[in-house]
Structure 1
């Protein structure tokens, strides 16, 4: 009975965490370059049950001890590109990321809403330098053009080339503040990604799937909560009623 309470409680916690992940996705539906996080609920390792009353021990079967939420995985699928007409709005087609210099070190983003700061450096919306292959990119006055390979030109003069970074398929990317990511492994300059000037990449959140998953998580939470209540009521009955001595 107590095992049932623990199982139901762990299921409730897992489904609550799952709902928080889905909520984060839904709240970033309109965030350019956002990558949705996918997560699922699985059993902890099962426990084998054995018949031990006799010398010839035989397996009875297995029982799950509880459930857990898998570590959310980042969905790196391409989002739709939407034209804005702004010369400093940039979108990547491919698996690469823009490279950003922050006080915490290098971070990476697909959010191409860039601007110029007081020093005419190309920076993110919150003011961190966007790196080129030679460091921060400073843009002099003039008409800005960005080639598909990331080369930045002003009035036909080459200013630099954007540092587009790719990561191995097994690299873990962690979402940090302001729609930027860090990685547990070093990336490499991309040789295949392309840049579209005057476009922004939209979030790749699948709204239909997210809402369906949220409803399923809510339902699973409610069922686990009901199972916990039933187990608690049964335990209370066993303690307070079954052992009572009749007059």
Structure 2
């Protein structure tokens, strides 16, 4: 396979990967606390011997994606007035108890399950200092203070765990807004939780669509280059075939 085709394929694969990530960002536009992602690319330069009739070493540049970078900036705060919608302002993650172990999220769109436990959209309990936060009918209207203290008419029920990590970018995403990590959680010293609100996705649709258009143009330009190269080679072959012996 010649260098032109290799370069073209590497750029087309990079564009395809970018399109996948952009499409996923747009699909999660309405997912609370979703963090937009983008592909990180690295350029590889390969040198070789000059082709026939050329002088100097040949240099070929290939592009390869080396991973996904997550934008950790906060989304906007959206008021919902739902008693179990919680938004984290500043650093921190809620602790979620799953069958696979503790996981972490900033998605505060919570509800009560049949046992009165505060759970996320997948039905996994949200942990307080004493384990899953459980609310009974006798607790009446629930108030959740900015420090995470959950109270009812009979007094304090629990206090939500809010933790952070030394390297947030090293956390592994599971689904749209759940994360796992081998790092030890660090309790947030001054948590700030807003009841009746949600953190929105930090995806800006206009920017994502603009990026999508740029990637599509780059893909088309690369495809055109590859097609032109193929056409030139075919013409050369045809001309050689028509030369009389």
Q: 2:218 aligns with which of 210, 217, 220?
A: 220
- Residue 150 of structure 2 aligns to a residue in which SS? strand
- Summarize the alignment of residues 133-144 of structure 1 with structure 2, pairs less than 5 Å apart: 133-141=129-137, 142-144=140-142
Any gaps of 5 or more consecutive residues in structure 2? Answer: none
User: 1:199 is matched with which residue?
Assistant: 197
Does residue 20 in structure 1 map to residue 16 in structure 2?
no
Does residue 84 in structure 1 map to residue 80 in structure 2?
yes
Distance in 2 between the 1:34 and 1:77 partners?
Answer: 10
Q: Deviations over 1:96-119 (max 9, x none)?
A: 111111112222212111111111
The number of equivalent residue pairs is: 241
Distance in 2 between the 1:79 and 1:178 partners?
Answer: 15
TM-score by length of 1: 0.88
Runs of 4+ in 1 over 6 A off after TM superposition: none
CA shift at 1:179, angstroms?
Answer: 2.8
Q: Structure 1 residues 50 and 98, CA, compared in 2 at 3 Å: closer, same or farther? A: same
- Residue 143 of structure 2 aligns to a residue in which SS? strand
Distance in 1 between the 2:49 and 2:97 partners?
Answer: 58
- Summarize the alignment of residues 44-55 of structure 1 with structure 2, pairs less than 5 Å apart: 44=44, 46-48=45-47
CA shift at 1:175, angstroms?
Answer: 2.4
Which range moved further: 232-241 or 136-145?
232-241
Any gaps of 5 or more consecutive residues in structure 1? Answer: 52-58
- Summarize the alignment of residues 1-247 of structure 1 with structure 2, pairs less than 5 Å apart: 2-44=2-44, 46-48=45-47, 60=56, 63-141=59-137, 142-155=140-153, 157-169=155-167, 171-242=169-240, 245-247=243-245
